[in-house]
Each structure stands twice: as C-alpha cells, then as structure tokens.
Chain A
Amino acid sequence: MADMKGTQLIHEYLRHNKKFPHVFCAGCGHGIVLGSLIRSIHGLGLSKDEVCVVAGIGCSGRLAAYVDFNTVHTTHGRALTFATGIKMAKPNMHVIVVMGDGDSMAIGGNHLIHAARRNIGVTALILNNNIYGMTGGQCSPTTPSGAFTMTSPMGQMEQSFDCVELMTAAKANYVARGSVFHVKKLDKMIMEGISNPGFGVVEIMTPCHTQYGRKNKFKTPVDMFKNIKDTVISIERYNQLSEEEQASRIPSGVFVQKDTPSLEEKFYQMAASCQGGA
C-alpha cells in the first residue's frame, strides 16, 4: 500500500460491503473529512488494527461505518467517554473520535471539557457545520448570531461557542482549526493531532448546504465552499486585520501545541510504581 495515493488509496480503506455512495448530501464536507482522515492515517504509516474510530450520533456519526478500522458507533454526546475507556484499556491504540458540533459541544459539552482537563490521549475531530443537520436543522451552539435556521426563523439571538477558545481554556494539549476547503493543511493538522501526546482537538469547518445554506442565501453547495474559502484564513493573516474585518473571518491554524504527559501515561507509571513498591 506504500505507493498509493488519491482515490485509489481511499477506496482501499473503505468497507466495500456497505452501500456506496455514502449517505451524505451532495456537497457535504463530511466526505472530504473522511478522505482526509484516511490519508492522515496512511501518511503516519499506521496499520488498520492500530486505529480505533469512535463516532457519536448525527451526520458525522455515519463516518465510522464506512472505514475499515476498528469502529464504534456510540450514543449521543458520549463518544468521548467510550473513547476514554478504550484508550485506558489499550494505551497503544490510536483512538480518534469523530463528533459533530451539536454532539460535542451541546449534549456532550461536559464530556468534552473534562476530556480536555484530564488530557486523555485521544484525538477529537469536531466537524462544525453550524447546525444540527440530521434532525431537521435546529440551531446548535456554534450557529453564528443572526443566522437563520429552522428553529430561529427570524435570526439566531444567542451567542455562539468558539470551540478553539473553549478547548484552550480547558487545557487541551493540541488545538487546531482547519476547513474542508484547505485540505492539505487539514491532513497535516490531523496527523499532528494523532501523533501529539495527550488530548488533541481539530475543529473542522464544513458546509451543510441542505439545512444551513438554503436558509442563509447560499444557493448551491459551491457557494458554501466559496464562503469557506473567503472566511477561513490563517492566524497570521487574521492578526493583521482590523477588528471590523476580523468579525467576519474565522482564524485557522494550530493554536496550542504542548507536551504535557497524558492521563494514560501517568496512570501506567503509577501502576508500575505501585507494583514495584509492593
């Protein structure tokens, strides 16, 4: 499998007994994230047995069904707790959690901040499409103020969460934000997130045309991709802009990178010292 690339590589990692094409809508970014995840794992040289993909509920939860790794499709919001158990039992396994924005920050919000506090060696991919896509387009914690959704037809009045700031404050070891338009950067971020010790979070800006785009004047999936191309910019460029310009842009890049020892590392050290001292 060493010299494969592109579509051939991705087809090699898919489960061919599943029904293809996958269930995501036309132009959904989740398919691109799936490809990026496969390329990153292949790029790190990990075998299929060394990787466990844990997914929650929602559109992003379907991702785990299509890839030929060890996969778990878990309950809503609890993907990180399942992943914590798997990582503690098998510390050498690379556990990757795929969650949507509603799954991770609304229902699983508490699990997310506590996974970051514990610094468990899991990589979380948060697929942020600003809405609850699968259940009919309700507003989620990351829906921008003023955006139109099924449950906020006159515009969203609440403030939205910034995943990067939340995770930085909760002391995650690796925090990055990418987008499905800038795929090569995203591949690099996921690879870094997997190889970095401790809790890693990669927030991925992805479009939901069916539920979010149609209500917010994006006529086609291509318009949503153009919007992502224009609004998601690197942190260096973001810092040079004035405050008014910053309001409509989203910074992307690596925000935090630390080497704090992870929970399972500390646990196995303690277990060894207890056994040695007895």
Chain B
Amino acid sequence: MSVKSKGNSTVTIFPDWCKGCGICAAFCPGKVMELNDQGKAVVVKEEECISCGFCELHCPDFAIMVRPKADDEIPAVCRAVLEKAARKTDMPADGSAAEKNSSDMEKG
C-alpha cells in the first residue's frame, strides 16, 4: 500500500441517502466526519482524511464518496443521484411526489 498522506482527497456525503447510523464517524481514523443535529453525517475536517476508504467500504447506504482532490468532476452516475435528490425536494407539495414514492415501493 502507498504511504497514507493527509489532505489529498475530497469526501462527499449524499445527505438524502444517509440514515445516520454513525459508523463512518465512529471508526474514521482522522475523525473527518461527525453527526450533525439532524443525525446525519457531515464532513468537518476534510484535511485530516488519509483516504483509507473505510467509510466508503462500510457505509451501508452507499452515501459516502472519497475521491482524489485532483478529479474535481463528480462522476456522472453519482451526479445523477445528487440531482435526483435535489429534484425530489423541489417537487410541488400537491401530493404528486408522495404518490410517485408509494408506486415505487409497490414495484419493490
């Protein structure tokens, strides 16, 4: 394995996918993440990240992405996830969003 160096990676958390189990915050060797007052993980000390990948491997909800700082472009597939989450929150409050979700659930 290469030498672990700090500050070479970016940690992204998809807040809509995070369920706040706290595994990432508890086991992170650099204490990069914390749980906020809503119980979701947030990045507080990104410069301490040694890019070990523990959080990425152990997040049960695939909500954390650690990538080198050099790639400033978020991968297309993950960007789609973020955009979908943003669209959901912007939906009109006439119940159409709720209907869509329930039909998704039935499809299983």
Contacts and interface: CB of A to CB of B under 8 A. Distances in A.
A182 to B, nearest CB: 10
Considering residues A6, A30, A35, which has the most beta carbons from chain B within 10 angstroms of its beta carbon?
Answer: A6
Contacts, number: 93
A90 interface: no
B104 A21 contact: no
Given A11-B81, A18-B107, A21-B19, A27 B26 contact: no
Contacts of B53: 6
A275 interface: no
A29 B78 CA distance: 22
A23 to B, nearest CB: 9
A49 B27 CA distance: 36
Interface residues of B, number: 34
A28 B65 contact: no
A122 B43 CA distance: 42
Given A7-B65, A7-B78, A225-B27, A35 B22 contact: no
Interface residues of A, number: 36
Nearest to A20: B17
A8 B17 contact: no
A171 B58 CA distance: 32
Considering residues B22, B57, B75, which has the most beta carbons from chain A within 10 angstroms of its beta carbon?
Answer: B57
A188 interface: no
B63 A21 contact: yes
A266 interface: no
A19 B17 CA distance: 10
Nearest to B12: A7
Contacts of B19: 21, 25-27
A180 B57 CA distance: 10
A4 B78 CA distance: 12
A225 B60 CA distance: 12
Contact of B62 (A10, A30, A183): A10
Contacts of A18: 104, 107-108
B92 to A, nearest CB: 19
B56 interface: yes
Contacts of B80: 16
Interface of B: 16-23, 26-27, 53, 56-67, 75, 77-78, 80-81, 84, 101, 104-105, 107-108
23 contacts: A6-B53, A7-B64, A8-B67, A8-B78, A11-B62, A11-B78, A16-B81, A16-B84, A18-B107, A18-B108, A19-B101, A20-B17, A20-B81, A24-B60, A27-B19, A27-B23, A31-B60, A31-B61, A32-B57, A32-B59, A35-B57, A222-B22, A222-B26
